[in-house]
Amino acid sequence: MKTQVGIIGGGPSGLLLSQLLHLQGIETVVLERHSREYVLARIRAGVLEHGFAALMREAQAAERMDREGEIHDGFFIAHDGIKDRVDLKGLTGGNSVVIYGQTELTRDLYDGRDKLGGIVVHNAEDVKPHDLESSRPYLTYRKGDELVRVDCDYLIGCDGFHGVSRKSIPKDKITEFDRVYPFGWLGVLSRTKPVSPELIYATHERGFALCSLRSQVLSRYYIQVPLKDSVQEWPDDRFWEELKRRLPPDVAAAMITGASIEKSIAPLRSFVAEPMRFGNLFLAGDAAHIVPPTGARGLNSAASDIFYLYHALVDHYKKKDDRGLDGYSQKALARVWKGQRFSWWMTMLLHRFPDSSTFDRRLQETELAYLFSSQKALASLAENYVGLPF
């Protein structure tokens, strides 16, 4: 096979980039190791910055998001038995976020690829990038016992944290920055009416909790748990009891509980790989960076990588202008690190750290007190949450 842009990974990053490029007449091939059903079975976060929502519209894949997604103008932080609201719209001159499950968004992107006749190869095994530093890099993959080669101009690693692309870069050409947090998030999906019309991030001496939603009939809840915990130790009753203990009394009293239809524990990690380019291989999304979910930046950090790559590749093919490609890593990392900072800050603000000192605890309490005493501090939180400019 031959194409212009070879993309490894059929998650949100890879699908969005291939859709955007296709609409500009640029050929792509997406190689996805799993089936479409497998990819769509993943439960992921659902808070989209307005910049991501705009990209989905430009990709002609936003019709259902605009119809079914919920616009949220604010969210709550619960502490000391009360809820304080962060007025995103008021603090950012009118910006907000869209609540729309990543599973649905990925489904819409797959439908978009189908409509345009985009090439997404599923169950592509043993995908390997080759000749990264040559002007004719290529991909190989196995389909059954057949070995297929795809000649490309450029390779884009959208294959997530555990993908092959970052690991194909020589160790002496890449630097990794890493922080692992000493707890995880136990998440539950339930077909119940959400307890609150807007998200509630709760900090409590027993640990962090989050009340989120996918729709008015599908709730998503999380509680911070020790890393050693397993899902088996958290039957539904125990989960609901613990969640309610971490929420203000009025919220706990209003909580509608129900059977969990999905339950999993995810570790929290901050990670960045620099640079995000090696030869003609570019990294984007989780392949290059991971954030703890506290600030809902995961998918949104991928959005700016895709935005920069999309424009850089269009400039290359339509104007023979390579400044976007040459400046990609530096430009992408500048915004990636701002997303890292915000996610780290929200995580430090709201979680209980097992080894924190009394001084740490006072600092945490003071950070929260300062936040709600200063419109400027709240505006800083709000501008990060709705999304810094691309």
Nearer to ligand PHB, 13 or 212 (CB): 212
Please give the Cα distance from 157 to 33 (Å, whole number).
13
Nearer to ligand APR, 61 or 78 (CB): 61
Phi-psi label, residue 378: left if phi above 0, alpha if psi -120 to 50, beta otherwise: alpha
Q: How far is the CB of 193 from ligand APR (least distance, A)?
A: 25
Number of residues interacting with ligand PHB: please give it, by CB under 6 A: 9
User: Is the distance from CB of 50 to CB of 95 less than 8 angstroms?
Assistant: yes
State yes or no: residue 53 binds ligand PHB (CB under 6 A).
Answer: no
State yes or no: residue 45 binds ligand PHB (CB under 6 A).
Answer: yes
State yes or no: residue 212 binds ligand PHB (CB under 6 A).
Answer: yes
Please give the Cα distance from 184 to 90 (Å, whole number).
33
User: Would you call 293 helix, strand, or coil by DSSP?
Assistant: helix
State yes or no: residue 387 binds ligand PHB (CB under 6 A).
Answer: no
* Helix, strand, coil tally for the chain in percent (to 5): 40, 30, 30
Q: At what angle do helices 50-58 and 102-116 cross, to 10 degrees?
A: 20
Q: Which stretch binds ligand PHB (CB under 6 A): 109-117, 231-239, 247-255, 293-301?
A: 293-301
Residue type, 362: R
Of the candidates 319, 221, 208, 313, the one whose C-alpha atom is nearest the C-alpha of residue 268 is 208
Q: Which residues bind ligand APR (CB under 6 A)?
A: 8-14, 31-34, 39, 44-45, 102, 124, 127, 158-160, 162-164, 285-286, 298-299, 302
Residue 220 near which of ligand PHB, ligand APR, none (CB within 5-8 Å, type-dependent): ligand PHB
Q: How far is the CB of 59 from ligand APR (least distance, A)?
A: 14
State yes or no: residue 294 binds ligand PHB (CB under 6 A).
Answer: yes
Q: How far is the CB of 305 from ligand APR (least distance, A)?
A: 8
Please give the Cα distance from 184 to 317 (Å, whole number).
44
Q: How far is the CB of 122 from ligand APR (least distance, A)?
A: 9
Nearer to ligand PHB, 6 or 46 (CB): 46
Furthest-apart CA pair in the chain: how many Å?
A: 64
Measured in degrees and rounded to the nearest 5, phi and psi for residue 131 equal: 50, 50
Per-residue DSSP letter, 57: H
Residue 314 near which of ligand PHB, ligand APR, none (CB within 5-8 Å, type-dependent): none
Q: How far is the CB of 302 from ligand APR (least distance, A)?
A: 4
Residues that bind ligand PHB (CB under 6 A): 45-47, 199, 212, 220, 293-294, 296
